[in-house]
Amino acid sequence: MTILPKIIICTLLAIVFSVKTTYAQENVVKIYFFYGDGCSHCAAEERFLSSLETLYKGKIDVQRYEVWRNSSNLKILAKASGSLGKSYTGVPVTIIGKTYISGYLDDQTTGEEIKSAIDVCLSSGGETCADVVVPLLDSPKPTVKLPILGSVNPKTVSLPLVTVIIGVLDGFNPCAMWTLLFLISILLGMKSKKRRWVLGMAFIFASGFVYFLFMAAWLNFFLILGFISWIRILIGLAAIVFGVYHIRKYYKEKVGGCDTAEDEKRQKMFERIKGIVRRERFVLALLGIVLLAAAVNLVELICSAGFPAIYTGILSMNNLPKTVYYMYIALYILFFMLDDIVVFVVAMVTLEAVGIQSKYARISRFVGGLLLALIGILLIFKPNILMLNF
């Protein structure tokens, strides 16, 4: 592999990490929230803390630690409780400086207690706001050596890697690829090189934009549902079902293709593409290509809704600033479009359509199925592996 892919990947990951680092400034009040996955009182406090992040934007940094499934986080809570002379009896537990709040009744009582502790630390600070948890976190960070990326901390790179991997696999989608390949075959017959490039890239980027809007809608749907464990389990089960379905299709069907695109519908689509591309007025042809990309993506969503739905479900678990959520979706879309861009550029440079649809679809179906099944298992049994905030 050349140095260029390495530079692209490392740069994109650096952008995502830098946003998160900028968000957590040194002069903000740190709130340590210890919760149990599935605890209703924890879920209520999570919603309240999320509202505080909006209210005190840039002034607080909520650190979340799940303790029922993560023994390391439980040890941190036990040590923090001991250092404050408290006895850990259950979750949720909230620590702000030396203020120790056990349990959560409602926003009007416990919530006001949390706000009061924040206001004290923001206004006067002092010994009562000294951080007792940070010293417990100063253990060496484990690193692993990965191809391309080198030495990385798996606890901080998990979500970006999941984004890149799922985005690339989602891009290997036969429903959009057969349309792109047919479009390329028509564009190659044009005399104008500029027209070929502009119409082809317009189709790819319009497809990416429509997909971005669709994924943003999925993300907001999961954010509205909130911090509920059964939603995570439901997404995990859906991922396993989708994964098994794709693996089964790989072994059952020797020829890959889009399940939602029948031959008759394809022929109608082909005729429509020809009519759009061959319009004499360039503006009308460009507008038609953009509308075609939107229409194709509506069909594609039926074919591959599993990937974006499951990914945005994972993304919503990470309690990030809203702008960072959309940056991750943009990163996903970039890698989602990568295979289309490569196929198109190769075709335009070599002046040959790249006919890899059947084999391409089968391999992507198998690899994608395995990945979905693995993600489903992790979501149910080890969700912290898919999160930045371990």
Per-residue pLDDT averaged across 162-178, rounded? 73
Are residues 112 and 159 located together in one domain of the fold? Answer: no
Q: Is the pLDDT of residue 23 over 70?
A: no
Are residues 177 and 133 located together in one domain of the fold? Answer: no
Report if residue 210 sits inside a domain. Answer: yes
Which pLDDT tens digit goes with each residue over 43-69? 999 999 999 998 998 889 899 999 988
Are residues 127 and 176 located together in one domain of the fold? Answer: no
Beta strand residue intervals within the chain, DSSP E: 29-35, 60-66, 93-96, 99-102, 144-146, 150-152
Are residues 199 and 347 located together in one domain of the fold? Answer: yes
> What is the strand order of the sheet 93-96 is part of?
60-66, 29-35, 93-96, 99-102
Name the 3-class secondary structure at 66: strand
What tokens does 36 get? 């149990």
Report if residue 17 sits inside a domain. Answer: no
**Comparing 89-98, 109-118, 181-190, 321-330, which segment has the lowest mean pLDDT?**
181-190
pTM of the model: 0.55
Counted domains in the chain:
2
pLDDT at 388: 47
Report if residue 87 sits inside a domain. Answer: yes
Report if residue 18 sits inside a domain. Answer: no
pLDDT at 94: 95
Are residues 124 and 155 located together in one domain of the fold? Answer: no
Instruction: Give percent of the chain above pLDDT 70.
Output: 67
Domain range for 313 is 146-386
Instruction: Say if residues 34 and 65 touch (Cβ distance below 8 Å).
Output: yes
Pairwise CA distance, residues 120 & 127, whole Å: 11
Are residues 250 and 182 located together in one domain of the fold? Answer: yes
295: nearest Cα among 204, 187, 215, 210? 210
Which pLDDT tens digit goes with each residue over 67-115? 988 888 888 898 888 888 888 778 999 999 889 999 999 999 999 999 9
Are residues 193 and 303 located together in one domain of the fold? Answer: yes
Are residues 90 and 221 located together in one domain of the fold? Answer: no
Report if residue 15 sits inside a domain. Answer: no
Q: Is the pLDDT of residue 294 over 50?
A: yes
Residue 36, domain CATH: 3.40.30.10
Are residues 184 and 328 located together in one domain of the fold? Answer: yes
Largest CA distance in the chain: 80
Boundary (domain end) residue, out of 100, 117, 137: 137
pLDDT mean across residues, the chain: 74
Number of Cβ within a 10 Å radius of residue 199? 22
Helix axes 193-225, 322-350, angle to 10 degrees: 150
Report if residue 296 sits inside a domain. Answer: yes
Report if residue 2 sits inside a domain. Answer: no
Report if residue 96 sits inside a domain. Answer: yes
Boundary (domain end) residue, out of 137, 165, 196: 137
6: nearest Cα among 193, 152, 107, 115? 152
Pairwise CA distance, residues 289 & 198, whole Å: 10
Q: Is the pLDDT of residue 385 over 80?
A: no
Q: Is the pLDDT of residue 237 over 70?
A: yes
pLDDT at 203: 82
Are residues 155 and 106 located together in one domain of the fold? Answer: no
Boundary (domain end) residue, out of 103, 137, 171: 137
Instruction: Say if residues 31 and 64 touch (Cβ distance below 8 Å).
Output: no
Write down the residue that tokens 């990937």 correspond to.
307
300: nearest Cα among 184, 171, 205, 201? 171
pLDDT at 243: 77
Are residues 237 and 133 located together in one domain of the fold? Answer: no
Q: What is the DSSP string of 112-164?
A: HHHHHHHHHHHHT--GGG--SSGGGG-SPPP-EEETTTEEE-HHHHHHHHHHH
Are residues 361 and 266 located together in one domain of the fold? Answer: yes
